[in-house]
Amino acid sequence: LTICAERAAVCAAVAAGERTIVAVAIATDLDEPARPCGACRQVLAEFGIGMQVALVGRGGVRVDTTLARLLPDPFTFADVFRGQQ
């Protein structure tokens, strides 16, 4: 895998001290708005599966969705610690 713009943005935000991401917008020059790759979906899921996602294509074509729709059954850090008290 390479580092996509979405993961680069998350890394930059975390490096700058951000710990919460509630929404993301992905804009491309494609006619049909592009969706984030699987690796990016997984990284975004660490910040909340209910995250709002705006996908924007050429000419302002926009699709509003949620990360839960794009990644219906994510693995998160909470899964690692589930059951450990």
**What is the tens place of the pLDDT at every residue in 56-78?**
999 999 999 999 999 998 887 77
Q: Tokens at residue 62, please?
A: 């926009």
Angle made by CA atoms 74, 34, 62, in degrees to the nearest 5: 105
- pLDDT band for position 83 (50/70/90)? low
What's the rounded mean pLDDT across residues 6-29?
A: 96
Asked whether the beta carbons of 55 and 35 are under 8 A apart, the reply is yes
Catalytic residues: 6
Asked whether the beta carbons of 35 and 62 are under 8 A apart, the reply is no
More confident: 68 or 85: 68
Query: For 79, left (φ over 0), alpha (ψ -120 to 50), or beta?
Result: alpha
